């Protein structure tokens, strides 16, 4: 990821609809599927600027790890101390160390994503859980992906297959960010027709009026509740909860 994107991420994560809504989806999914305990040992791989660490801390003791010093600096600004620098493909932890490993919008940044998934499997305890989110559909690849140094986007079936190859059993899989998918698709298509405004790729944050930002957060909260009962058929992201079996 371009270093200036970390600062942008740090500023947007607290209020921007996509981040706030996704956090609600993650929290609701974990409360639905995880055993009722607050004593999990949790690893957030690719913790970035740390916004998800506060959610995960509700389920136990959390360690955040990221390959970027810049990202960890911003995570430290949020008050988190238990941070490590390292790469997903070679985690500096012993076998069977964690009850829950999270890779939240991470594996699309890794050239050998299957190697990273196998490493997550190694550090998980038997019957431990893995939560993965990633961007969906290669056909909506855009400048946004280039700015964030993505290697690919995923379909659910592709991610499911790779999780199986790494030794996981998938418990829940769905597309998310569904209700806003047509709007995002139209925006990405329209922007692709315009000349780039900068030589450096830029992520596609759109500053919205407060009422509209809150409305989009509300739609994602609805999605979070629906995921307890159904899998959503399409969306701009995929989410999978799997178990080391």
Fold of 3-244: Rossmann fold (3.40.50)
- Predicted pLDDT of residue 68: 93
Bridge-based pairing of strands 237-244 and 124-135 is antiparallel
**CB neighbours of residue 242 within 10 Å:** 27
- Predicted pLDDT of residue 204: 65
Name the strand (E) or helix (H) holding 118.
helix 113-123
Angle between helices 17-33 and 210-226 in degrees, nearest 10: 20
Ramachandran region, residue 83 (left: φ > 0; alpha: ψ -120 to 50; beta: rest)? beta
- Predicted pLDDT of residue 103: 98
d(CA 22, CA 104): 10
Residue by residue, pLDDT tens for the chain (245 residues) are 667 778 888 889 999 999 999 999 999 999 999 988 778 999 999 999 999 999 999 999 999 999 999 999 999 999 999 999 999 999 999 999 999 999 999 999 999 999 999 999 999 999 999 999 999 999 999 888 888 899 999 999 999 999 999 999 999 999 999 999 999 888 777 776 666 655 565 666 788 999 999 999 999 999 999 999 999 999 999 999 999 98
- Predicted pLDDT of residue 17: 95
Boundaries of every domain in the chain: 3-244
- Predicted pLDDT of residue 188: 75
Q: Which residues contact 135 (CB under 8 A, 6 or more apart)?
A: 105, 108, 145, 150, 153, 154, 236, 237, 238
Secondary structure class of 114 (helix, strand, coil): helix
Local structure of residue 57 (DSSP, 8 states): G
């Amino acid at each position: 990821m371009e270093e200036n994107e970390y600062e942008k991420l740090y500023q947007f994560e607290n209020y921007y609809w996509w981040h706030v809504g996704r956090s609600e989806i993650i929290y609701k999914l974990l409360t639905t599927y995880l055993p009722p305990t607050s004593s999990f040992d949790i690893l957030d791989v690719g913790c970035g600027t740390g916004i998800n660490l506060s959610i995960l801390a509700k389920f136990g003791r959390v360690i955040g790890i990221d390959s970027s010093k810049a990202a960890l600096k911003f995570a430290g600004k949020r008050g988190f101390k238990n941070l490590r620098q390292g790469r997903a493909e070679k985690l500096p932890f012993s076998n069977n160390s964690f009850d829950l490993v999270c890779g939240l919008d991470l594996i699309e940044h890794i050239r050998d994503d299957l190697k990273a998934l196998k490493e997550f499997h190694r550090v998980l305890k038997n019957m431990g859980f893995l939560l993965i989110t990633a961007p969906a559909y290669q056909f909506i690849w855009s400048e946004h992906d280039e700015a964030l140094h993505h290697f690919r986007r995923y379909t659910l079936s592709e991610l499911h297959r790779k999780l199986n190859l790494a030794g996981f059993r998938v418990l829940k899989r769905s597309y998310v960010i569904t209700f806003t998918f047509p709007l995002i698709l139209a925006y990405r298509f329209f922007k692709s027709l315009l000349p780039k405004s900068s030589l450096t790729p830029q992520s596609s944050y759109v500053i919205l009026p407060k009422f509209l930002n809150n409305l989009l957060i509300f739609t994602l909260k609805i999605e979070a509740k629906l995921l307890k009962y159904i899998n959503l058929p399409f969306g701009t992201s995929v989410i999978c909860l799997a178990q080391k079996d």
